């Protein structure tokens, strides 16, 4: 088992990474109270909820469960209200701990509910997808989507503990595994060329779910994210680099309809577009972009975005959270393994970046 620490100005908490951790109550016990609300979805509940419920029951913890529909399209105000309704009907108070058991959608919604219910109750992240294990469960970003933009309504709110049970990846569908690998690759692109090379060397085995390699990939990504979050908890500076590919990616998700493209699939295509934009502003070589496309293909991810009108791309990207004073900012690459924040005031580099991907 790996044990990492996230040290932010607001809160310090551990990340545990290992196999069958869901059954180890001693890891949860210091971080939960005597009453617990479990938030999960229909898919994960069938696979992993009985294990967690039995662990809590056997250790005398009172709990109730909120099961939401599965999918990005349900990451909205209606689902959030289902959580609030359950908390209120079960007389949850400020000592009630919310446990998020699921992927990024469940983690984001349960975290936002915890941040806002009675102005804040403790919560625990138990991520069950690769994407949520390496990225969304760590760092305290919580949110729901709005029809005009992804993750536009939310709060920074840190969990008490992140419990990463790698055994949950055994039941993860192939498409979800690939989607998670997009976020893994992102870490190499934005800040660690040696990790990127390691991923290139080991991608076939990773996609075959080699347990040792997956554990190392998750550990490495969590450590990178913990280090970045410790420097910049509320994304005022360096944490924005973790959004590589996300400005384009969120535009794809919003335009196509939430859940049509998985988040990781959109991030993969968005990262390729970020590379092409980096070429346009003169900081990346075409051969580097081809290398990036190749590793995404090796992870069975799309390396080209869907086609839609430039005005639609622009409208979505102007809703991005990195926009400042009306100016769009993108995460670009000076070189592979070195990201930076770039303000784009002229539409021409964007038009050239998207030229091959525009509907007529």
Mark whether 318 is an active-site residue: no
In the residue annotation, 225 being an active-site residue is answered as yes
- Where on the phi/psi map is residue 232: left (φ > 0), alpha (ψ -120 to 50), or beta? beta
Out of 26, 119, 194, 345, the active site residue is 119
Question: Do 141 and 159 form a contact (C-beta atoms < 8 A)?
Answer: no
- Residue 183 annotated in active site: yes
53 in active site = no
The whole-angstrom separation of Cα 18 and Cα 211 is 10
Q: Is 119 a catalytic residue?
A: yes
- 11 noted as active-site residue: no
Distance CA 45, CA 65 (A): 10
Active site residue 141: yes
Q: Which of 48, 220, 250, 321 is catalytic?
A: 250
CB 57 within 8 A of CB 244: no
Catalytic choice (41, 72, 176, 183)? 183
Which of 150, 219, 263, 316 is flagged as catalytic? 263
Which one of the listed residues 225, 293, 316, 329 is annotated catalytic? 225
For residue 299, give both structure tokens.
């992870």
Annotated active-site residue 351? The verdict is no
Active site residue 94: no
Tokens linked to 326:
């009306």
Contacts 24+ apart (CB under 8 A), 342-351: 342/277, 342/281, 344/277, 347/314, 349/277, 349/280, 349/281, 350/277, 350/310, 350/313, 350/314, 350/317, 351/310
Options 31, 219, 246, 321, the catalytic residue: 246
Instruction: Give the residue among 263, 274, 75 at the shortest CA–CA distance from 179.
Output: 263
The single residue of 219, 233, 243, 316 carrying the catalytic annotation is 243
| Catalytic residue check, 312 | no
Catalytic residue (choose from 31, 48, 75, 141): 141
Residue tagged active-site, from 239, 293, 321, 329 = 239
The catalytic site residues sit at 119, 141, 183, 225, 235, 239, 243, 246, 250, 263
């Amino acid at each position: 088992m790996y044990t990492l620490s996230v040290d932010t100005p607001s809160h310090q908490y551990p990340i545990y990474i290992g196999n069958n951790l869901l059954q180890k109550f001693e890891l949860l016990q210091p971080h939960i109270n005597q009453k617990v609300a479990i938030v999960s979805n229909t898919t994960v509940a069938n696979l992993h909820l009985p294990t967690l419920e039995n662990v809590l029951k056997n250790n005398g913890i009172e709990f109730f469960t909120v099961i939401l529909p599965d999918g990005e399209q349900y990451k909205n105000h209606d689902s959030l209200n289902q959580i609030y309704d359950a908390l209120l009907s079960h007389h949850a108070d400020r000592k009630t701990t919310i446990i998020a058991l699921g992927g990024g959608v469940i983690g984001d919604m349960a975290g936002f509910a915890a941040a806002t219910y009675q102005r804040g109750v403790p919560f625990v992240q138990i991520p069950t997808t690769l994407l949520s294990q390496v990225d969304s469960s760590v760092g305290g970003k919580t949110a729901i989507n709005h029809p005009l933009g992804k993750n536009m309504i939310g709060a920074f709110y840190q969990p008490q503990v992140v419990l990463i049970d790698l055994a949950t990846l055994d039941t993860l569908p192939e498409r979800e595994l690939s989607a998670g690998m997009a976020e893994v690759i992102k870490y190499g692109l934005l800040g660690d060329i040696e990790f990127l090379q390691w991923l290139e060397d080991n991608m076939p085995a990773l996609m075959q779910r080699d347990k040792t390699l997956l554990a190392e990939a998750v550990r490495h990504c969590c450590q990178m994210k913990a280090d970045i979050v410790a420097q910049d908890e509320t994304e005022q500076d360096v944490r924005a680099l973790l959004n590589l590919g996300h400005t384009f990616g969120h535009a794809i998700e919003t335009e196509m309809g939430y859940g049509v493209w998985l988040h990781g699939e959109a991030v993969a295509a968005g990262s390729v577009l970020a590379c092409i934009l980096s070429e346009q502003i003169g900081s990346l070589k075409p051969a580097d972009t081809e290398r990036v496309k190749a590793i995404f293909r090796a992870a069975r991810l799309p390396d080209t975005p869907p086609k839609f009108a430039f005005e639609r791309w622009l409208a979505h990207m102007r809703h991005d959270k990195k926009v400042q004073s009306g100016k769009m900012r993108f995460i670009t690459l000076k070189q592979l393994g070195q990201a930076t924040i770039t303000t784009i005031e002229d539409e021409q580099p964007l038009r050239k970046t998207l030229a091959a991907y525009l509907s007529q």
